[in-house]
Chains A and B, each alone.
Chain A
Amino acid sequence: MSIEIKVNGRKHSVNTSPETSLLTVLRDHLGLTGSKYGCGEGECGACTVLVNGYSRRSCIMKVGDLHGQPVTTIEGLEQEGKLHPVQQAFLEAEAFQCAYCTVGMIMTTVAMLNAMPNPTDEQAIEFLNGNICRCGTYPRILRAVHLAAERMPKGEAR
C-alpha cells in the first residue's frame, strides 16, 4: 500500500506496509542512508532521527505510526549548504573515529539542545546514554555538545 510521509520538508509516497520500520523506509525507499542500522531494538541510537523535533529510534518506529508527523534526518540538517551548528561542532571537536555512530549522536544532540539549550555534562550524559560509540569517543562528543550549545542560535528550535 502507499504511505504518505514528510521527510526533511518534502512529501513522499512510499509503497510499503505500515509495519515497515521508519529506518527501512528512509534508507531503502528514499535513499537517505545517513541514518544507520546498529541494533534493531532501539538500544544503540545509530538510527536516531527527529520526529516533530523529538529524537526517535527509527529502527523500532513503524512508518505507519508517524501519522503525518514530520521527520528530520541528517540529510535535512544543512541549511543552504551550511552545516548545522551541531554538525560543525562535531567536525571541529573531531568527535568520531569510524563515525558510524556520529549521525545518531548529532541527531540526538540536536533534539537535546532543542529541549535543553545549555546542558551540563550530567544532563548531556543522561540524554545521550542511549547512544553507543564503540570506538569510545564519548569525551569528544561531550566537548562537541558544549561547543554546539555555545553556538546554537537561542530560542530557535529546528
Chain B
Amino acid sequence: MSERKQPEEMRTVEAIEPERYEAFAPPSYHFDLERRDFLKVVGGGIGVFLVMGEPAAALAQESGRPQFRFRMPPLPKNVGAWLHIAPNGAVTVFTGKVEVGQNIRTSLAQQVAEELKVAVDAISMVMGDTARTPFDMGTFGSRTTPTMGPQLRRVGATAREILIGLAAERWNADKKTLVAENGAVRDPATGKTLGYGELATGQTLAKTIISTDPLEPPADWTVAGKPLAKVGAVEFVTGRHRYPSDIVVPGLHYGKVLRPAAFGATLETLDASAAKAMPGVTVVHDGNFVGVVAPTLEEAEKALGLLKATWKTAPQISNAELFAYLKQNVLPESEAEEDRLRHETGSVESGMADAPKKFEATYTVEYIAHAPLEPRAAVAVWQGGKVTAWTGTQRPFAVRDALADTFHLAKDDARVLMPDMGSGYGGKHTPECAIEAARLSRGAGKPVKLIWTREEEFTWAYFRPAGVIDVRAGLGADGKLVAWEMHNYNSGPSAVMTPYDVPNQRISFHPTKYPLRQGSYRALAATANHFARESAMSELAHMAGADQLEFRLKHLSDERLKAVFLAAAKKFGWPRAKTAPGQGFGIGGGIEKGGRVAACAEVAVDEKSGEVKVTHVVVAFECGAIVNQDGLNNQVSGAQVMGLGGALFEAIEFADGKILNPMFSKYRVPRFKDLPEIEVVLVDRVDRPPAGAGETPICGLAPAIANAIFDATGTRLRAMPLAPHGLKKADPTPPAPRAAAEPA
C-alpha cells in the first residue's frame, strides 16, 4: 500500500443555515458556506468534498459540430463530487454523472468502496439531480472512468483517513496502527472496533480535498478490478425501476406535441376547435409550437389527431445529393475555426512524387440514429414559479440551464432529475423534451408527462453526422507508406489522426454546412475515421501484396495498439485459411479516448442472394487498469452488436425535410439473428490509469467487416452502411474511388 499524505486540517461546522440546497449545484460559488449547510441539511456526520483543482480541458469531447455546441468553459474551482457518512453509517455519494446503462452506478460505487473499505452495497449513489448533486458537464466522451472514478477514489480515501483519525482520537492511539475494514476501524493491538456510523455520530466534519492524494495502485485493488453485478439489478428484472418515462406524480396529465410537416416548416394556419372542445383538454399554442394536454394519454392522442394545421415548407436535399452537398459546402475559413483540424508533417507532395505505388479513394458514411429503446421522455411540474423536470438526459445540468433560459428563471428555480434511463449512446444531450413538457405543463397548469413516440425520436432528435472522407497515400518500394493524406468532411475530427508511422502526412477535418440536425454518438466521428483509415490500410496492404495484419504492424510503434492487434489476431487464429466459398477475414483497429481496440471479423457472403453475414468477431480492447471486468466485457461486446448496425445496414433516409424511415420496421437495427459469435479479449494494464470504455470498442468492427467482405468477394465497399440490402443490390450508385489505384 502506498504512503498517504496527512489529511488537511479538519474544520468543525458552526454556522448553520438550513435549506440552502440551491447553492450546491452551480459552479463558482462560495464553497465554505454550502459545505456547512450541506451537513446541516443531511443531519450531521462527515462530508468530504472534492474541489476540482484543474481545468479539465480534456473534458471537451470533440463534438462534431452539433447544433448544440458545447462551449466548454474551463471548469471553475468548484465541487466535483462529495461523499457523506451519516451517523447511522449510511454512505452516500453525490455525483452529477448519470447512469444510462454503461454501469457507472456500480463501477463508481465499487471504486469508493475500494478506498473506504465498505461493501459496495453499503453505498448509495445520488446521481444527476441538479438540486442535490454538484454541477457536472454531462456524461459523455468516456470521461467518467478516467476522471470521476479517480476523483471519487480520492474522496473515499480521505473519508477513510478521517474515520481512522477519529478512532485514534477516541482511543488515544497512533492512527498508523489502526486499520479500516468492512465499514469499521479496528485496532489490531487491542481488538477494539468502531463502526463508521458510531464514528460519525455527533460529528459535523467537513473536509475539502483538491490535491492528488496518492491512491492505492490498481494492482492492490481488492473490490475494484473484480466482476461485480449491477447495483440494484433486481429492480430491473422485476420492472420496478422507474425510468424517466415511468415517473408519475399526483394529478399527472399527458402531453402531445404537433410536429411540423417538415424540418424548418412554419405554421400557416391552425384550427384547434375540435381538440379544445374535448373535456379536460388544453391546447397550448405559441408561435410554431402547438401541443395538447389531456387527463389521459389516449385523450391526448385523440386531441392531437383533431388538430388541423397547414405548414409552409421549403424544398430540401435528400440522400441522393448528400455527399456532393457536404463536399460543396465547406465552411469558409473564417467560420468554425475552433472546430477545424489541420495536421501536416513532412511533405505529402514530395512523398507522393517519390512513391512507386499510389492510392486514392473516397469513403462515405450515412446519417444514422441512436435509437435508444427508451425514447425521450419528461415529466414537468410547476410550483410557485419553479419548475421540476424528470427527464432522460446525459446532461442534466445543461437541461436545467436550458429550462432556466427558456422560461426566464433563475437557474435554481429549475430542477432536473435524471432517473437511470433507457440509454442514450450520445443521443440524449439536448433538452427539447423537458422544455416541451414544461411548456405544456405551464400552459395547462397541470403536471405533464411527455413521451416522444418512436417516430418523433427518429425524426426530431439528432443524428450521427454523415461524412465524406478522402484518402490518398503513397507506397514505397519497400512496401512501407511514404505519404498519407486524409480529409474528413463534416463527420468530425475524432480519431482522424493516423496511429501509423508515415513520414509525410496531411490530415484535416473540414466543417461543412449540413442538412440534418446532427450531434454526438457513441465514439462519434471515430467510427467514420476508423472505417476510412482502416479500410484504406487493408487496401494498401493488398496493393503491397502484404497480409493485413503484417502491413499494420510494420507501421506501428505504439506498443499498446500493437498488443491489442496481436491479442485479437491470436485469439482469432490470424492468418486463417478459407474453408468455405464466400468466406473472408478482415481486421481493423486504432486508438481513441485513451483506449486501444482491434477487431478481427469473419464474414460469409451468400453467392446467390448476396446476403452478408458476420459470423465471428474477436475484439481485443485495452483501457488501462480494469475497474469491473464483467461490466467492461458487457460494454465491449455490446459495442460490437451496435457497431454491426452502422457497419452493415443502418442509414437514415430523408428527403425534403422529412425522415422516410422513422420506425423500427423501416430502420433496421441489429437483432438476435444478426448476432455473430463474439469473443472479447480484455488486456488489463494494471500499471495504467483506467480509461473510459463506452465508446472506443465500437471503432474497429466496421472496417474489419469491410475488409473481410473484400477478402471474401474481391468487392471493395467504401460506403457505410456496407450492405443494407446485401451485396448484389448493395447501393445503386456506389461511390467509386476517384482514381484507380495503380502503379505510377
Contacts and interface: CB of A to CB of B under 8 A. Distances in A.
A43 B665 contact: yes
A136 B671 CA distance: 8
A20 to B, nearest CB: 5
Given A34-B238, A91-B237, A125-B672, A135 B664 contact: no
Given A46-B373, A94-B229, A132-B669, A33 B248 contact: yes
Given A37-B451, A132-B669, A83 B641 contact: no
Contacts of B423: 97-98, 100, 134-135
A136 B374 contact: no
Contacts of A132: 373, 664, 669, 671
A16 B638 CA distance: 40
A13 interface: no
Contacts of B455: 40
Nearest to A74: B239
Nearest to A100: B422
B673 A41 contact: no
Contacts of A28: 254, 296-297
B233 A94 contact: yes
Nearest to B677: A139
Interface stretch (B47-55, B513-521, B629-637): B629-637
Contacts of A135: 101, 423, 638, 641-642
B634 A38 contact: no
Contacts of B372: 98, 100, 134
A35 interface: yes
**Interface residues on chain B, size class:** 35 or more
Contacts of A17: 298
A129 interface: yes
A139 B642 CA distance: 13
Contacts of A39: 454, 663-664
6 contacts: A40-B454, A43-B664, A96-B230, A129-B672, A132-B669, A139-B675
Contacts of A96: 101, 230, 233, 236-237
B141 to A, nearest CB: 18
B239 A75 contact: yes
B418 to A, nearest CB: 13
A140 B248 contact: no
B637 A139 contact: yes
B294 to A, nearest CB: 11
B407 interface: no
Interface string A54-88: 00000000000000000001110110000100011
Nearest to B237: A87
A129 B664 CA distance: 13
Given A41-B663, A41-B664, A139 B454 contact: no
A108 B57 CA distance: 46
B304 to A, nearest CB: 14
B379 to A, nearest CB: 12
Given A97-B635, A137-B638, 8 more contacts: A17-B298, A28-B254, A39-B454, A44-B454, A97-B634, A103-B239, A132-B664, A135-B642
B237 A134 contact: no
Contacts of B103: 97
Contacts of B669: 132, 134
Counting from the closest, the 9 A-B pairs by CB-CB distance are A34-B239, A136-B641, A98-B101, A100-B422, A136-B638, A74-B239, A99-B236, A97-B101, A98-B423
A7 interface: no
A111 interface: no
Given A37-B245, A39-B663, A128-B672, A102 B236 contact: yes
B453 interface: yes
Contact of A87 (B238, B248, B420, B640): B238
Contact of B243 (A97, A100, A130): A100
Contacts of A133: 373, 641
Interface string A21-49: 10010011101111111111101101000
A60 B670 CA distance: 22
B223 interface: no
B239 A97 contact: no
A20 B241 CA distance: 25
* SS of B interface (majority): loop
Contact of A35 (B239, B422, B642, B671): B239
A2 B292 CA distance: 24
A23 B693 CA distance: 35
B224 interface: no
B102 interface: yes
A32 B238 CA distance: 11
Nearest to A101: B373
Nearest to A46: B373
Given A100-B373, A100-B422, A132-B664, A31 B248 contact: yes
Contact of A139 (B102, B241, B425, B678): B678
Contacts of B373: 36, 38, 44, 46, 98, 100-101, 132-134
Contact of B453 (A27, A40, A136): A40
B577 interface: no
B421 A98 contact: yes
A29 B454 CA distance: 21
B234 A41 contact: no
B575 to A, nearest CB: 26
A22 B206 CA distance: 52
B691 to A, nearest CB: 19
Q: Which of A21, A73, A135, A140 has the most CB of B within 10 A?
A: A135
Contact of B298 (A24, A73, A136): A24
Given A17-B298, A100-B373, A136-B637, A94 B642 contact: no
Nearest to B421: A98
Interface string B230-263: 1001101111111101101000001000000000
Contacts of B374: 36, 38, 98, 100
Given A43-B664, A98-B101, A100-B243, A134 B642 contact: yes
A93 B248 CA distance: 31
A28 to B, nearest CB: 5
Interface in B184-230: 229-230
Nearest to A137: B638
B100 interface: yes
B295 to A, nearest CB: 10
Interface in B615-650: 630, 634-635, 637-642
A141 B639 CA distance: 15
